[in-house]
Each structure stands twice: as C-alpha cells, then as structure tokens.
Amino acid sequence: MATLGQIIFYSMIALIVLFAAAIILILSLSLSGSKSEVTSSNAFPIANLGEDKLLSCLLNTATLSTRLQDVSVTWWKEDLSGLVYKYQNGVPDLADQNSQFKGRTQLFPDSLGAGNASLMLRSVRSSDEGQYTCSISSSDGGGTVNIHLRTAAFTAPAFKFSNGVLAAEASRWFPKPSVTWSNFYGEVLTGNTSFTAISGGIYSVVSTLLSVNVSDTYNCRIENDFVSAVSRAIPTGSGVSGSTYFMFSAASSLLASSYLSIVTAVLCSFYLT
C-alpha cells in the first residue's frame, strides 16, 4: 500500500506533466498565431546569397475544390512597406509590391490547385533576410504561417594535393567561418587557414594541411553559425578524391527549451519545499 508521501510525490509528477503539456500547447498556438490550416515544410530556411530560394507555404488539403480565381495568396515581409507578392482572381496582383522584390518573385499556379502557395525568391540578397508571412484564403480553408529566412554564403571546397600538402579552397563564405581538420579516426589535426575579404563581407577560404600521406583519409569541416560543409578528402597519385555534404543549423528550439525550463523549475521548487 502506497504511503502518503508516495501518493503526494506521484500526484506532483502528474501535475508537472499536465502543466508542461498545457504550456507547450499555449506556446505552439502563440507561435503559429492561430489554429491555422497553413503550414511550412521549413519555417527557418537558410538561403545561399545570390542563389534562388523557395519559401514553403502549404494549405493542409489534398486538393482545392475552389476555383483558382477564388483563391487569394498574399506574401509580406515584417517591417517592410508594400507586399512581397499577391495572387488573386487567378492572376498575380503586383500593384502594391515593394520595389525590392520586383522581378524576383514567382508563385506556381499549377501547384496552387494542390494547396501549394510556395514562393520562389530569385537571386537572394542579404536584405531579404527576415520574417515573411504567407496568407491563403479560400472556401476550402486558409490561414497564415510565418517563415524566418536567414541568409548566408557557402560553397563546397575544392581540394588540391602536391608535395605532401593538402589544400582546401572555398570561394564564398559568410559569416566568416572556422576550419577544422581531422584524420580518419576523428583526431584533430593542425592546419593553416587564411581568409580573404570579398565584397559584401563575404570571405574566400584557403586552408592547408602539411605532412599528408597518399591514400589516407582526411576530414575538413568549414562552418559558421548557419552552415557546415563537411568534406572527406583522400589524396591519390593523380589528385584528390572525396565528397562534401552540407548541414544547416536547426530550427528554433523554443518549445523544447521552454518545456525543459518549466519542468526543471517545478521540480526544483518541489524538492526545495
């Protein structure tokens, strides 16, 4: 038979779980703004400066029974006058479009019938960074979703090998990155890295590693707060073989951190009383 202390303890645990779940639900609703039927497959995208970027905006429906002429899609950017893009009555309506986006935005009407109101942003600039809102209105549903666009510059390094020296050269990085070399076993090696400033605060990166052995595997990691380029390089008699993949910083962990803070605070309060 459970003691009074055990009953109180398990009751407190149950209350903590319920309290944390309620807070997470409240935070989820506040972040979304409402019980919106509109979502994004990537609410925190990172765009490579100078390249095109698709901003995802999706209506949670298999197909729209509404005629496209009756679907309205509006994109706008926080703290910016005018609109980013507007589609209504079956055609783009760009009369109020901000000059920053003229000729640089595109919606895809063929996809809109499936609830896809994603926006293509051409030749991304650093000034494009910020919070965007996509709004969809139709008889099949609607709502809004926020997309927080971040901008960076990143390129995969090209490798060269000569006289025992392995060099990695990457032409465009912003913000300024760091470079880490390691061997096949993950042991950190000492390299020599130089940065050259280019226009717009972008850097070119050259990093070299000495005393390199043919056929051994070396790892080169170029990273900043937004992007990591992880490369594997194997010097050969005729050059360097290898590959590079990119990793992007995770989306906001606000909900997870809030949950942990709440549970920790309540547990500490419980044990201190």
Specify if 129 maps to a domain. Answer: yes
Q: How far apart are CA 1 and CA 100, in angstroms?
A: 71
Residue 57 and residue 125 share a domain: yes
What residues contact residue 39 under an 8 Å CB cut-off, 6+ apart? Answer: 58, 60, 145
The yes-or-no verdict on residue 272 having pLDDT over 50 is no
Which pLDDT tens digit goes with each residue over 203-225? Answer: 999 999 999 999 999 999 999 99
Q: How far apart are CA 254 and CA 19, in angstroms?
A: 17
* pTM, entire model: 0.75
Residue 233 and residue 186 share a domain: yes
Residue 44 and residue 132 share a domain: yes
Specify if 77 maps to a domain. Answer: yes
The yes-or-no verdict on residue 68 having pLDDT over 90 is no
Backbone angles phi, psi at 161, to 5 degrees: -135, 125
Residue 168 and residue 132 share a domain: no
DSSP per-residue letters across 42-84: -SS-EEETTS-EEEP-EESSSS--S-GGG-EEEEEETT-SSBS
* Final residue of a structural domain among 99, 132, 152: 152
CATH, residue 141 = 2.60.40.10
Q: How far apart are CA 95 and CA 98, in angstroms?
A: 9
pLDDT for the residue numbered 270: 30
* Final residue of a structural domain among 152, 182, 208: 152
205 contacts 154 by C-beta, under 8 angstroms:
no
The yes-or-no verdict on residue 17 having pLDDT over 70 is no
118 contacts 109 by C-beta, under 8 angstroms:
no
Count of structural domains, the chain: 2
Residue 97, domain extent: 38-152
Residue 205 and residue 132 share a domain: no
Residue 108 and residue 54 share a domain: yes
Residue 127 and residue 56 share a domain: yes
